[in-house]
Amino acid sequence: MADGFFVTGTDTGIGKTLITASLAWKFSKEISKICAMKPFATGISEYSNKFRSKDLAILARAIELEEKQENLNPYFYPLPCSPYMASSLLNLPPPSVGYAIKKFKLLQKKYDYLLVEGIGGIMVPLNTKHTLLNFIKLTKLKVVIIATPKLGTFNHILLTVKICKSSGIPIKGIVINKMPNQPSKIEAEIPSFIQEFTKLPILGVIPTLNKFKINESTFSKISKLININPKN
């Protein structure tokens, strides 16, 4: 049974994919059979013939994903909104948490380590009965929470932490992404205040990357700034 963790966040567009890819790249140097999946994805359109989801394509740049796309990304909707809303607007069946978990367990048995990237925030609706939270609980993985230092982040982080704890979901720690290269006094102090309030480790603070390519150099730069041991 593969070890691993789940990467979630306080919002969409905060860097979950790039951080997941960077950690997958780093861990692949010491773990031979490693995999990364994104169970639910949406977007403006299909990214390519090989990968419907651009996020999955980025993960594939970090490690060789030989697995079938339907196992790595069971659900993709070509509309940039929550999976449930996208499925409704496109008149398509919504995601089934049970089916997605089957794919997760298939990969978990096949690999030694499995990283799972979420979509949006932890309460994103998947269907009328389930949110991403329900899926995370079934994986029984620890979560890494990605946040940014923007205004309102305290509320977003504390809400995410509270619902994880009340749902019995273990938290590995928090990563602050997109820290300005010249942060204000307030922005610079946010990580320490978050740690004080949540009593959780700040696993890393990543500066804003204004110009970068999706390649090993970027993965290496980001992964060096995150203190995560894949073994615990």
Residue 32 pLDDT class (50, 70, 90 cuts): confident
Of the candidates 29, 33, 38, 105, the residue annotated as catalytic is 38
Residue 146, annotated as binding a ligand = no
The verdict on whether 137 is a catalytic residue reads: no
Residue 18, annotated as binding a ligand = yes
What integer pLDDT is reported at residue 31 of this predicted model?
A: 93
> Do the bridges between strand 3-9 and strand 113-117 make them parallel or antiparallel, or are there none, so unpaired?
parallel
**Domain extents for the chain?**
3-223
Residue 152, annotated as binding a ligand = no
44-53, 167-176, 206-215: the lowest-pLDDT one: 44-53
Residue 42, annotated as binding a ligand = yes
What integer pLDDT is reported at residue 106 of this predicted model?
A: 97
Predicted model pTM: 0.95
HSE, CB side, 13 Å, CA atoms: give it for residue 68.
Answer: 8
Q: Look at domain 3-223 and name its CATH class.
A: alpha beta
Cβ-based neighbour number of residue 65 at 10 Å: 22
Residue 1 pLDDT class (50, 70, 90 cuts): low
Residue 119, annotated as binding a ligand = yes
Residue 13, annotated as binding a ligand = yes
Q: Which residues contact 182 (CB under 8 A, 6 or more apart)?
A: none
Residue 49 pLDDT class (50, 70, 90 cuts): confident
Angle formed by the axes of helices 16-27 and 216-223, nearest 10°: 90
Average model confidence (pLDDT) for the chain?
95
Per-residue pLDDT reduced to its tens digit, 222-232: 999 999 988 77
- State mean pLDDT over 203-219: 93
> Do the bridges between strand 75-77 and strand 40-42 make them parallel or antiparallel, or are there none, so unpaired?
parallel
What integer pLDDT is reported at residue 81 of this predicted model?
A: 95
What integer pLDDT is reported at residue 74 of this predicted model?
A: 97
Q: How far is the C-alpha of 133 from the C-alpha of 123, rounded, in Å?
A: 6
pLDDT higher than 90, residue 91: yes
